[in-house]
Chain A
Amino acid sequence: MSTARAAAILLAKEVRLEFRTRELLNATIVFAMIVVVLFSFSFDPTAAESRRLGPGLLWIAFLFAASLMLHPSFGREQTNQTLDALRMAPISPFALLLGKMLANFLFLSAAEVVLVPVFAVLYNVSLAGVVGRLALVFALGTLGLCVTGTVFSAIASHARMRELLLPLLLLPIQAPLLIAAVETTAGLLAPQPGLDRAWLAFLAGFDIVFLTASWLLGDYLLEE
Protein backbone atom coordinates (compact mmCIF):
# COMPACT_ATOMS: atom_id res chain seq x y z
CA MET A 1 0.00 0.00 0.00
CA SER A 2 1.45 3.38 -0.88
CA THR A 3 2.55 5.68 1.88
CA ALA A 4 0.11 8.40 0.86
CA ARG A 5 -2.87 6.07 0.85
CA ALA A 6 -1.93 4.48 4.15
CA ALA A 7 -1.46 7.88 5.72
CA ALA A 8 -4.84 9.00 4.43
CA ILE A 9 -6.57 5.96 5.90
CA LEU A 10 -4.84 6.46 9.24
CA LEU A 11 -5.75 10.13 9.17
CA ALA A 12 -9.39 9.19 8.64
CA LYS A 13 -9.18 6.78 11.57
CA GLU A 14 -7.68 9.41 13.89
CA VAL A 15 -10.32 11.98 12.90
CA ARG A 16 -13.17 9.51 13.31
CA LEU A 17 -11.80 8.45 16.69
CA GLU A 18 -11.50 11.99 17.88
CA PHE A 19 -14.91 13.07 16.69
CA ARG A 20 -16.59 10.32 18.66
CA THR A 21 -15.79 12.11 21.88
CA ARG A 22 -14.13 15.38 20.83
CA GLU A 23 -12.48 15.40 24.24
CA LEU A 24 -9.03 16.28 22.93
CA LEU A 25 -10.27 19.08 20.71
CA ASN A 26 -12.42 20.63 23.42
CA ALA A 27 -9.67 20.43 26.01
CA THR A 28 -7.13 21.96 23.62
CA ILE A 29 -9.37 24.89 22.71
CA VAL A 30 -10.33 25.59 26.29
CA PHE A 31 -6.74 25.35 27.51
CA ALA A 32 -5.41 27.70 24.85
CA MET A 33 -8.21 30.13 25.62
CA ILE A 34 -7.33 30.04 29.33
CA VAL A 35 -3.69 30.79 28.54
CA VAL A 36 -4.65 33.73 26.33
CA VAL A 37 -6.97 35.14 29.00
CA LEU A 38 -4.40 34.61 31.77
CA PHE A 39 -1.86 36.56 29.76
CA SER A 40 -4.27 39.45 29.51
CA PHE A 41 -4.57 39.45 33.32
CA SER A 42 -0.80 39.46 33.72
CA PHE A 43 -0.06 42.16 31.18
CA ASP A 44 -3.05 44.54 31.24
CA PRO A 45 -2.55 45.40 27.59
CA THR A 46 -3.25 48.81 26.13
CA ALA A 47 -3.87 48.85 22.40
CA ALA A 48 -0.26 49.55 21.44
CA GLU A 49 1.19 47.00 23.83
CA SER A 50 -1.20 44.27 22.80
CA ARG A 51 -0.13 44.77 19.22
CA ARG A 52 3.48 44.33 20.30
CA LEU A 53 3.03 41.45 22.71
CA GLY A 54 0.00 39.85 21.13
CA PRO A 55 1.58 37.63 18.46
CA GLY A 56 4.06 36.22 20.99
CA LEU A 57 1.33 35.44 23.50
CA LEU A 58 -0.85 33.83 20.86
CA TRP A 59 1.88 31.53 19.67
CA ILE A 60 2.95 30.62 23.18
CA ALA A 61 -0.64 29.66 23.92
CA PHE A 62 -0.61 27.36 20.88
CA LEU A 63 2.76 25.96 21.81
CA PHE A 64 1.55 24.99 25.27
CA ALA A 65 -1.73 23.66 23.93
CA ALA A 66 0.10 21.61 21.30
CA SER A 67 2.54 20.05 23.71
CA LEU A 68 -0.34 18.88 25.87
CA MET A 69 -2.45 17.77 22.94
CA LEU A 70 0.34 15.82 21.29
CA HIS A 71 1.00 13.56 24.22
CA PRO A 72 -2.16 11.47 23.75
CA SER A 73 -1.18 11.06 20.11
CA PHE A 74 0.90 8.05 21.04
CA GLY A 75 -0.25 7.82 24.61
CA ARG A 76 -3.68 6.58 23.51
CA GLU A 77 -2.10 3.85 21.43
CA GLN A 78 -0.17 2.65 24.41
CA THR A 79 -3.11 2.30 26.77
CA ASN A 80 -4.91 0.04 24.35
CA GLN A 81 -1.74 -1.48 22.91
CA THR A 82 -2.97 -0.76 19.44
CA LEU A 83 0.49 0.28 18.30
CA ASP A 84 1.55 -3.33 17.87
CA ALA A 85 -1.37 -3.94 15.55
CA LEU A 86 -0.45 -0.89 13.51
CA ARG A 87 3.16 -2.01 13.31
CA MET A 88 2.08 -5.36 11.90
CA ALA A 89 0.07 -3.76 9.13
CA PRO A 90 1.78 -3.69 5.72
CA ILE A 91 2.45 0.02 5.82
CA SER A 92 5.67 1.96 6.15
CA PRO A 93 6.36 3.43 9.59
CA PHE A 94 6.54 6.85 8.02
CA ALA A 95 2.93 6.42 6.84
CA LEU A 96 1.93 5.86 10.44
CA LEU A 97 3.80 8.99 11.52
CA LEU A 98 2.42 11.00 8.62
CA GLY A 99 -1.14 9.97 9.42
CA LYS A 100 -0.71 11.15 13.01
CA MET A 101 1.06 14.35 11.97
CA LEU A 102 -1.79 15.25 9.64
CA ALA A 103 -4.40 14.39 12.26
CA ASN A 104 -2.65 16.57 14.85
CA PHE A 105 -2.34 19.30 12.23
CA LEU A 106 -6.08 19.16 11.63
CA PHE A 107 -6.94 19.28 15.33
CA LEU A 108 -4.54 22.09 16.11
CA SER A 109 -5.75 24.06 13.10
CA ALA A 110 -9.34 23.59 14.24
CA ALA A 111 -8.34 25.04 17.62
CA GLU A 112 -6.61 27.96 15.89
CA VAL A 113 -9.65 28.75 13.75
CA VAL A 114 -11.61 29.18 16.96
CA LEU A 115 -8.91 30.98 18.91
CA VAL A 116 -7.52 33.57 16.51
CA PRO A 117 -10.82 35.48 16.26
CA VAL A 118 -11.19 35.27 20.06
CA PHE A 119 -7.70 36.66 20.43
CA ALA A 120 -8.44 39.42 17.92
CA VAL A 121 -11.46 40.46 19.96
CA LEU A 122 -9.78 40.28 23.38
CA TYR A 123 -6.65 42.12 22.28
CA ASN A 124 -8.34 44.62 19.97
CA VAL A 125 -6.41 43.56 16.93
CA SER A 126 -7.80 43.92 13.44
CA LEU A 127 -7.50 40.98 11.09
CA ALA A 128 -8.91 42.78 8.07
CA GLY A 129 -6.96 42.27 4.85
CA VAL A 130 -4.41 39.84 6.30
CA VAL A 131 -6.55 36.73 6.80
CA GLY A 132 -5.15 34.88 3.79
CA ARG A 133 -1.49 35.54 4.61
CA LEU A 134 -2.15 34.90 8.29
CA ALA A 135 -3.63 31.53 7.37
CA LEU A 136 -0.46 30.71 5.45
CA VAL A 137 1.77 31.62 8.37
CA PHE A 138 -0.37 29.63 10.78
CA ALA A 139 -0.45 26.65 8.43
CA LEU A 140 3.35 26.55 8.13
CA GLY A 141 3.88 27.14 11.83
CA THR A 142 1.32 24.55 12.90
CA LEU A 143 2.81 22.02 10.50
CA GLY A 144 6.19 22.50 12.12
CA LEU A 145 4.67 22.10 15.59
CA CYS A 146 2.93 18.90 14.55
CA VAL A 147 5.87 17.32 12.73
CA THR A 148 8.23 17.81 15.66
CA GLY A 149 5.48 17.13 18.17
CA THR A 150 4.47 13.80 16.68
CA VAL A 151 8.06 12.60 16.41
CA PHE A 152 8.88 13.55 19.97
CA SER A 153 5.60 12.14 21.23
CA ALA A 154 6.70 8.82 19.78
CA ILE A 155 10.03 9.14 21.57
CA ALA A 156 8.57 10.24 24.89
CA SER A 157 5.87 7.57 24.94
CA HIS A 158 8.47 5.01 26.01
CA ALA A 159 9.87 7.06 28.85
CA ARG A 160 8.88 7.62 32.44
CA MET A 161 7.27 10.95 33.29
CA ARG A 162 6.16 11.30 29.70
CA GLU A 163 3.63 14.10 30.34
CA LEU A 164 6.40 16.32 31.66
CA LEU A 165 9.04 15.02 29.30
CA LEU A 166 7.23 15.88 26.09
CA PRO A 167 7.11 19.68 26.62
CA LEU A 168 10.69 19.51 27.90
CA LEU A 169 11.84 17.88 24.67
CA LEU A 170 9.61 19.89 22.39
CA LEU A 171 10.09 23.45 23.51
CA PRO A 172 13.81 23.82 22.70
CA ILE A 173 13.42 22.26 19.28
CA GLN A 174 10.34 24.34 18.50
CA ALA A 175 11.88 27.60 19.73
CA PRO A 176 13.29 28.67 16.32
CA LEU A 177 9.90 27.93 14.77
CA LEU A 178 8.22 29.97 17.47
CA ILE A 179 10.50 32.94 16.81
CA ALA A 180 9.89 32.81 13.07
CA ALA A 181 6.12 32.42 13.52
CA VAL A 182 5.91 35.31 15.96
CA GLU A 183 7.97 37.58 13.70
CA THR A 184 5.81 36.90 10.65
CA THR A 185 2.56 37.18 12.61
CA ALA A 186 3.72 40.43 14.18
CA GLY A 187 4.57 41.74 10.73
CA LEU A 188 1.05 40.96 9.54
CA LEU A 189 -0.69 42.46 12.58
CA ALA A 190 1.38 45.65 12.53
CA PRO A 191 -0.22 48.98 11.53
CA GLN A 192 1.39 48.59 8.08
CA PRO A 193 0.86 44.89 7.47
CA GLY A 194 3.58 43.13 5.49
CA LEU A 195 4.69 39.55 5.03
CA ASP A 196 8.34 39.07 5.94
CA ARG A 197 9.59 36.77 3.20
CA ALA A 198 12.82 35.82 4.93
CA TRP A 199 11.09 34.56 8.07
CA LEU A 200 8.46 32.84 5.94
CA ALA A 201 11.23 31.03 4.09
CA PHE A 202 12.66 30.03 7.45
CA LEU A 203 9.30 28.58 8.48
CA ALA A 204 9.04 26.62 5.26
CA GLY A 205 12.65 25.48 5.59
CA PHE A 206 12.05 24.29 9.14
CA ASP A 207 9.08 22.22 8.00
CA ILE A 208 10.98 20.69 5.10
CA VAL A 209 14.04 19.84 7.18
CA PHE A 210 12.10 18.18 9.97
CA LEU A 211 9.70 16.39 7.65
CA THR A 212 12.67 14.95 5.77
CA ALA A 213 14.39 13.94 8.98
CA SER A 214 11.19 12.22 10.16
CA TRP A 215 10.96 10.35 6.88
CA LEU A 216 14.56 9.16 7.15
CA LEU A 217 14.34 8.19 10.81
CA GLY A 218 10.72 6.99 10.96
CA ASP A 219 11.59 3.30 11.00
CA TYR A 220 13.73 3.69 14.10
CA LEU A 221 11.08 5.64 15.95
CA LEU A 222 8.55 2.88 15.82
CA GLU A 223 10.59 -0.26 16.15
CA GLU A 224 9.96 -2.76 18.91
Chain B
Amino acid sequence: MKTRIPITLVAAALVFFAGYAALFIAPDEKTMHEIQRVFYFHVGLWTAMYTAFGIAFVANVAWLVTRKPRWDWLGVSAIEVGVVCCTGGLITGMLWGKPAWGIWWTWDARLTTCFILWLLYISYLILRGLLEEPGRRATLSAVFGIFAFLDAPLVYASNRLWRTQHPAPVLFGGPDSGLDPMILKVMLIGMTAMVAMAMIVLADRYRLERMRHEVDELRVALETRGEGSAVTSAARN
Protein backbone atom coordinates (compact mmCIF):
# COMPACT_ATOMS: atom_id res chain seq x y z
CA MET B 1 0.00 0.00 0.00
CA LYS B 2 2.82 2.41 0.83
CA THR B 3 4.20 2.15 -2.67
CA ARG B 4 0.87 3.17 -4.19
CA ILE B 5 1.22 6.87 -3.66
CA PRO B 6 4.68 7.21 -5.25
CA ILE B 7 3.64 4.98 -8.14
CA THR B 8 0.50 7.00 -8.74
CA LEU B 9 2.49 10.22 -8.61
CA VAL B 10 4.97 8.86 -11.14
CA ALA B 11 2.15 7.85 -13.45
CA ALA B 12 0.47 11.24 -13.08
CA ALA B 13 3.78 12.95 -13.87
CA LEU B 14 4.16 10.72 -16.91
CA VAL B 15 0.73 11.69 -18.16
CA PHE B 16 1.41 15.40 -17.62
CA PHE B 17 4.72 15.10 -19.43
CA ALA B 18 3.09 13.15 -22.25
CA GLY B 19 0.50 15.89 -22.59
CA TYR B 20 3.13 18.59 -22.64
CA ALA B 21 5.19 16.66 -25.18
CA ALA B 22 2.18 16.05 -27.37
CA LEU B 23 1.22 19.70 -27.41
CA PHE B 24 4.61 21.46 -27.48
CA ILE B 25 7.51 19.11 -28.21
CA ALA B 26 6.05 17.11 -31.06
CA PRO B 27 6.57 18.70 -34.46
CA ASP B 28 3.69 20.01 -36.53
CA GLU B 29 2.16 17.55 -38.95
CA LYS B 30 1.91 18.54 -42.62
CA THR B 31 -1.69 17.84 -43.53
CA MET B 32 -3.72 17.80 -40.31
CA HIS B 33 -1.71 20.23 -38.15
CA GLU B 34 -2.90 20.51 -34.58
CA ILE B 35 -5.60 17.86 -34.53
CA GLN B 36 -3.02 15.22 -35.40
CA ARG B 37 -1.69 15.58 -31.85
CA VAL B 38 -4.60 13.41 -30.67
CA PHE B 39 -2.54 10.60 -32.19
CA TYR B 40 -0.26 10.45 -29.17
CA PHE B 41 -3.16 9.55 -26.87
CA HIS B 42 -5.26 7.69 -29.38
CA VAL B 43 -2.48 5.18 -30.11
CA GLY B 44 -1.62 5.07 -26.40
CA LEU B 45 -5.17 4.05 -25.53
CA TRP B 46 -5.12 1.21 -28.04
CA THR B 47 -1.78 0.02 -26.73
CA ALA B 48 -3.25 0.04 -23.24
CA MET B 49 -6.29 -1.86 -24.50
CA TYR B 50 -4.24 -4.59 -26.19
CA THR B 51 -2.09 -4.86 -23.09
CA ALA B 52 -5.15 -5.21 -20.88
CA PHE B 53 -6.80 -7.81 -23.12
CA GLY B 54 -3.50 -9.65 -23.39
CA ILE B 55 -3.23 -9.79 -19.61
CA ALA B 56 -6.84 -11.00 -19.47
CA PHE B 57 -6.09 -13.77 -21.96
CA VAL B 58 -3.17 -15.00 -19.86
CA ALA B 59 -5.33 -14.78 -16.73
CA ASN B 60 -8.14 -16.75 -18.38
CA VAL B 61 -5.81 -19.53 -19.40
CA ALA B 62 -4.15 -19.50 -15.98
CA TRP B 63 -7.53 -19.86 -14.26
CA LEU B 64 -8.48 -22.86 -16.38
CA VAL B 65 -5.16 -24.51 -15.65
CA THR B 66 -4.60 -23.66 -11.98
CA ARG B 67 -8.07 -22.76 -10.64
CA LYS B 68 -6.55 -20.18 -8.33
CA PRO B 69 -9.13 -17.43 -7.69
CA ARG B 70 -6.67 -14.59 -8.22
CA TRP B 71 -6.55 -15.39 -11.94
CA ASP B 72 -10.31 -15.01 -12.16
CA TRP B 73 -10.05 -11.65 -10.39
CA LEU B 74 -7.30 -10.54 -12.76
CA GLY B 75 -9.27 -11.69 -15.78
CA VAL B 76 -12.41 -9.70 -15.12
CA SER B 77 -10.45 -6.66 -13.96
CA ALA B 78 -8.24 -6.62 -17.04
CA ILE B 79 -11.20 -6.96 -19.37
CA GLU B 80 -13.09 -4.17 -17.67
CA VAL B 81 -10.05 -1.88 -17.95
CA GLY B 82 -9.63 -2.96 -21.57
CA VAL B 83 -13.21 -2.00 -22.36
CA VAL B 84 -12.64 1.39 -20.73
CA CYS B 85 -9.51 1.95 -22.86
CA CYS B 86 -11.36 0.78 -25.97
CA THR B 87 -14.16 3.26 -25.26
CA GLY B 88 -11.60 6.04 -24.89
CA GLY B 89 -9.93 4.99 -28.10
CA LEU B 90 -13.19 4.99 -30.03
CA ILE B 91 -14.18 8.43 -28.72
CA THR B 92 -10.77 10.01 -29.38
CA GLY B 93 -10.85 8.40 -32.81
CA MET B 94 -14.19 10.01 -33.59
CA LEU B 95 -12.96 13.36 -32.28
CA TRP B 96 -10.03 13.06 -34.65
CA GLY B 97 -12.04 11.74 -37.55
CA LYS B 98 -14.55 14.57 -37.68
CA PRO B 99 -12.00 17.35 -38.31
CA ALA B 100 -9.61 15.16 -40.31
CA TRP B 101 -12.06 13.24 -42.56
CA GLY B 102 -15.24 15.24 -42.17
CA ILE B 103 -17.11 12.23 -40.78
CA TRP B 104 -17.62 10.94 -37.23
CA TRP B 105 -17.62 7.33 -38.31
CA THR B 106 -17.28 4.97 -41.24
CA TRP B 107 -17.59 1.23 -41.65
CA ASP B 108 -14.10 0.43 -42.87
CA ALA B 109 -12.28 -2.72 -41.74
CA ARG B 110 -10.39 -1.15 -38.85
CA LEU B 111 -13.32 0.71 -37.28
CA THR B 112 -15.77 -2.15 -37.85
CA THR B 113 -13.57 -4.85 -36.33
CA CYS B 114 -12.71 -2.57 -33.45
CA PHE B 115 -16.36 -1.81 -32.72
CA ILE B 116 -17.09 -5.53 -32.80
CA LEU B 117 -14.27 -6.18 -30.33
CA TRP B 118 -15.74 -3.56 -28.03
CA LEU B 119 -19.18 -5.19 -28.18
CA LEU B 120 -17.64 -8.61 -27.66
CA TYR B 121 -15.92 -7.71 -24.43
CA ILE B 122 -18.98 -5.83 -23.21
CA SER B 123 -20.86 -9.10 -23.76
CA TYR B 124 -18.26 -10.74 -21.53
CA LEU B 125 -19.10 -8.30 -18.75
CA ILE B 126 -22.83 -8.89 -19.23
CA LEU B 127 -22.28 -12.65 -19.21
CA ARG B 128 -20.44 -12.43 -15.91
CA GLY B 129 -23.31 -10.53 -14.40
CA LEU B 130 -25.72 -13.28 -15.38
CA LEU B 131 -23.76 -16.28 -14.16
CA GLU B 132 -24.40 -16.84 -10.50
CA GLU B 133 -22.36 -19.72 -9.19
CA PRO B 134 -18.78 -18.42 -8.69
CA GLY B 135 -16.84 -21.46 -9.89
CA ARG B 136 -18.88 -21.90 -13.03
CA ARG B 137 -18.90 -18.15 -13.63
CA ALA B 138 -15.11 -18.08 -13.55
CA THR B 139 -14.72 -21.08 -15.86
CA LEU B 140 -17.32 -20.15 -18.44
CA SER B 141 -16.29 -16.52 -18.61
CA ALA B 142 -12.65 -17.61 -18.96
CA VAL B 143 -13.62 -19.76 -21.96
CA PHE B 144 -15.61 -16.87 -23.42
CA GLY B 145 -12.71 -14.51 -22.78
CA ILE B 146 -10.36 -16.78 -24.69
CA PHE B 147 -12.75 -16.93 -27.63
CA ALA B 148 -13.13 -13.17 -27.55
CA PHE B 149 -9.37 -12.67 -27.64
CA LEU B 150 -9.25 -14.58 -30.93
CA ASP B 151 -10.81 -11.49 -32.47
CA ALA B 152 -8.09 -9.08 -31.27
CA PRO B 153 -5.39 -9.97 -33.84
CA LEU B 154 -7.96 -9.37 -36.56
CA VAL B 155 -8.43 -5.79 -35.34
CA TYR B 156 -4.69 -5.19 -35.31
CA ALA B 157 -4.20 -6.66 -38.77
CA SER B 158 -7.25 -5.00 -40.30
CA ASN B 159 -5.43 -2.01 -41.72
CA ARG B 160 -2.73 -4.26 -43.15
CA LEU B 161 -5.10 -6.74 -44.81
CA TRP B 162 -7.48 -4.18 -46.26
CA ARG B 163 -7.33 -0.68 -47.59
CA THR B 164 -9.10 1.41 -44.99
CA GLN B 165 -10.30 4.93 -44.31
CA HIS B 166 -8.22 4.62 -41.18
CA PRO B 167 -4.52 5.40 -41.79
CA ALA B 168 -2.30 2.53 -42.88
CA PRO B 169 0.26 1.14 -40.41
CA VAL B 170 3.14 3.43 -39.50
CA LEU B 171 5.08 0.94 -37.42
CA PHE B 172 6.38 -2.17 -39.18
CA GLY B 173 4.23 -1.08 -42.03
CA GLY B 174 6.10 -1.51 -45.28
CA PRO B 175 8.19 0.58 -47.66
CA ASP B 176 6.18 3.80 -47.50
CA SER B 177 5.52 3.82 -43.78
CA GLY B 178 7.63 5.10 -40.93
CA LEU B 179 7.65 7.95 -38.49
CA ASP B 180 9.67 11.09 -37.96
CA PRO B 181 12.02 10.23 -35.03
CA MET B 182 10.65 12.97 -32.77
CA ILE B 183 7.07 11.90 -33.46
CA LEU B 184 8.09 8.33 -32.66
CA LYS B 185 9.64 9.42 -29.34
CA VAL B 186 6.59 11.39 -28.26
CA MET B 187 4.37 8.51 -29.36
CA LEU B 188 6.32 6.12 -27.15
CA ILE B 189 5.97 8.54 -24.23
CA GLY B 190 2.25 8.68 -24.86
CA MET B 191 1.97 4.89 -25.02
CA THR B 192 3.90 4.48 -21.78
CA ALA B 193 1.73 7.06 -20.04
CA MET B 194 -1.52 5.42 -21.15
CA VAL B 195 -0.36 1.92 -20.27
CA ALA B 196 0.81 3.16 -16.87
CA MET B 197 -2.60 4.72 -16.17
CA ALA B 198 -4.32 1.53 -17.25
CA MET B 199 -2.13 -0.58 -14.96
CA ILE B 200 -2.86 1.63 -11.98
CA VAL B 201 -6.58 1.47 -12.59
CA LEU B 202 -6.23 -2.30 -13.11
CA ALA B 203 -4.53 -2.72 -9.75
CA ASP B 204 -7.43 -0.95 -8.04
CA ARG B 205 -10.03 -2.97 -9.88
CA TYR B 206 -8.21 -6.15 -8.89
CA ARG B 207 -8.29 -5.02 -5.30
CA LEU B 208 -12.03 -4.47 -5.60
CA GLU B 209 -12.51 -8.00 -6.90
CA ARG B 210 -10.40 -9.43 -4.10
CA MET B 211 -12.52 -7.56 -1.55
CA ARG B 212 -15.71 -8.89 -3.13
CA HIS B 213 -14.34 -12.37 -2.60
CA GLU B 214 -13.54 -11.51 1.00
CA VAL B 215 -17.10 -10.28 1.57
CA ASP B 216 -18.49 -13.54 0.18
CA GLU B 217 -16.23 -15.58 2.43
CA LEU B 218 -17.22 -13.56 5.48
CA ARG B 219 -20.89 -14.02 4.64
CA VAL B 220 -20.42 -17.78 4.32
CA ALA B 221 -18.53 -17.85 7.63
CA LEU B 222 -21.38 -15.99 9.30
CA GLU B 223 -23.97 -18.35 7.90
CA THR B 224 -22.16 -21.52 8.89
CA ARG B 225 -21.39 -20.08 12.28
CA GLY B 226 -25.07 -19.24 12.67
CA GLU B 227 -26.10 -22.76 11.69
CA GLY B 228 -23.53 -24.25 14.04
CA SER B 229 -24.84 -22.39 17.07
CA ALA B 230 -28.43 -23.26 16.13
CA VAL B 231 -27.51 -26.94 16.09
CA THR B 232 -25.70 -26.74 19.42
CA SER B 233 -28.57 -24.95 21.12
CA ALA B 234 -31.05 -27.48 19.69
CA ALA B 235 -28.89 -30.34 20.98
CA ARG B 236 -28.66 -28.69 24.36
CA ASN B 237 -32.44 -28.47 24.53
Residues of chain B with a CB closer than 8 A to A179's CB: 112
Residues of chain B with a CB closer than 8 A to A210's CB: 147, 150
Contacting pair B143 A165 (CB below 8 A): no
Q: How far is the CA of A168 from the CA of B119 in the complex (A)?
A: 9
Q: Among residues 174 to 193 in chain A, which have CB atoms less than 8 Å away from a CB atom of chain B?
A: 175-176, 179
| Chain B interface (Cβ < 8 Å from any Cβ of A) | 64, 112-113, 116-117, 119-120, 123, 126-127, 130-133, 136, 139-140, 142-144, 146-148, 150-151, 154
Q: Which of A152, A169, A176, A213 contacts B154 (CB 8 A)?
A: A176
Asked if A115 is an interface residue, CB under 8 A from chain B, the answer is no
Known: A151-B147, A209-B150. A176 touches B113 (CB 8 A): yes
Contacting pair B143 A217 (CB below 8 A): yes
Besides A172-B117, A173-B120, 5 more A-B contacts (Cβ < 8 Å) are A151-B147, A168-B123, A172-B119, A176-B116, A223-B139
Residues of chain A with a CB closer than 8 A to B132's CB: 160
Contacting pair B139 A175 (CB below 8 A): no
Known: A173-B151, A176-B113, A220-B64. A165 touches B126 (CB 8 A): yes
Contacting pair B130 A175 (CB below 8 A): no
In the assembled complex, the CB of A146 is this many whole angstroms from the nearest CB of chain B, namely 15
Could you tell me the dominant secondary structure of chain B's interface residues?
Answer: helix
Known: A176-B154, A210-B150, A213-B147. A221 touches B140 (CB 8 A): yes
Residues of chain B with a CB closer than 8 A to A152's CB: 144
Contacting pair A159 B151 (CB below 8 A): no
Known: A151-B147, A173-B151, A213-B146. A220 touches B139 (CB 8 A): yes
Q: How far is the CA of A56 from the CA of B155 in the complex (A)?
A: 22
Look across to chain A and name the residue whose beta carbon is closest to the beta carbon of B142.
A220
Known: A151-B147, A209-B150, A217-B146. A169 touches B127 (CB 8 A): yes
Could you tell me the dominant secondary structure of chain A's interface residues?
Answer: helix
| Chain A interface (Cβ < 8 Å from any Cβ of B) | 148, 151-152, 155-156, 158-161, 165, 168-169, 171-173, 175-176, 179, 209-210, 213, 217, 220-221, 223
Q: How far is the CA of A50 from the CA of B112 in the complex (A)?
A: 24
In the assembled complex, the CB of B107 is this many whole angstroms from the nearest CB of chain A, namely 10
Contacting pair A172 B123 (CB below 8 A): yes
Contacting pair A155 B113 (CB below 8 A): no
Contacting pair B120 A172 (CB below 8 A): yes
Q: How far is the CA of A217 from the CA of B142 in the complex (A)?
A: 10
Contacting pair A175 B140 (CB below 8 A): no
14 residue pairs of the A-B complex, CB under 8 angstroms, read: A152-B144, A155-B140, A156-B127, A160-B132, A165-B127, A172-B119, A173-B151, A175-B112, A175-B116, A176-B116, A210-B147, A213-B147, A217-B64, A221-B143
In the assembled complex, the CB of B131 is this many whole angstroms from the nearest CB of chain A, namely 5
Look across to chain B and name the residue whose beta carbon is closest to the beta carbon of A175.
B116
Q: How far is the CA of A165 from the CA of B128 in the complex (A)?
A: 11
Residues of chain B with a CB closer than 8 A to A151's CB: 143, 147
In the assembled complex, the CB of B129 is this many whole angstroms from the nearest CB of chain A, namely 9
Contacting pair A155 B126 (CB below 8 A): no
Contacting pair A176 B151 (CB below 8 A): yes
Q: How far is the CA of A173 from the CA of B146 in the complex (A)?
A: 12
